[in-house]
Amino acid sequence: MATAHAGGYAGPSRIHSLAQYGAFAFGAVFVLVGILGFIPGITTNVDDMTFAGEDSGAELLGIFQVSVLHNLVHLLLGIVGLWAARLWATARVYLLATGVVYLALFVYGMVIDRESDANFVPLNSADDWLHLVLAVAMLAVGLAAGRRFEDDPLVRGRGDVPRARRT
């Protein structure tokens, strides 16, 4: 039977590393946020939601400007995160790559004209700062996971995973 250590399916009960826990947690939150972005009451002005563009009047929790595209991107990132949590390597790549994407989104949101067609996601100031927090958190977890499975803080020191020899 394949295990997470051998590269097989890890599922929630077989998550063994910080990278896997991180990818699973961020993925679950992104799925939840993507769903909540469509629910009236949790998202204000749902009737004013557009597919994309700065003119979408919907706001998640009355704070974060959202559109159908924005919500679908959250759902997609969430599903990818849940899938990536199966293995340490894919979980770490997910955390680092998505962290870089969110850092780029933060910079993008800071430099675009909010009233222009360039604000197609759409983004507001609250989104920008949340993107920075997400970028820092995802990059921190991805980097803390180490460069190898054996270096992950939740794996290191366990007797069931052999340590690589150091020369």
Q: What is the pLDDT of residue 135?
A: 97
Mean pLDDT of 133-154: 88
Q: What is the pLDDT of residue 101?
A: 96
Q: What is the pLDDT of residue 6?
A: 46
Amino acid identity at 38: F
* Segments of the chain assigned E as strands: 43-44, 59-60, 64-65
138 part of a folded domain: yes
163 part of a folded domain: no
Average pLDDT value over all residues in the chain: 84
* Cβ-contact 74, 33 below 8 angstroms: yes
Q: Residue 165: which pLDDT band, with cuts at 50, 70 and 90? A: very low
Based on the structure, what is the number of domains in the chain? 1
Residue 107 has pLDDT above 80, yes or no: yes
97 part of a folded domain: yes
pLDDT tens readout for residues 136-145: 999 999 999 8
Q: What is the pTM of this model?
A: 0.81
Torsion on CA atoms 163, 20, 81, 28, rounded to nearest 10: 180
For 58, the domain range is 17-148
7 part of a folded domain: no
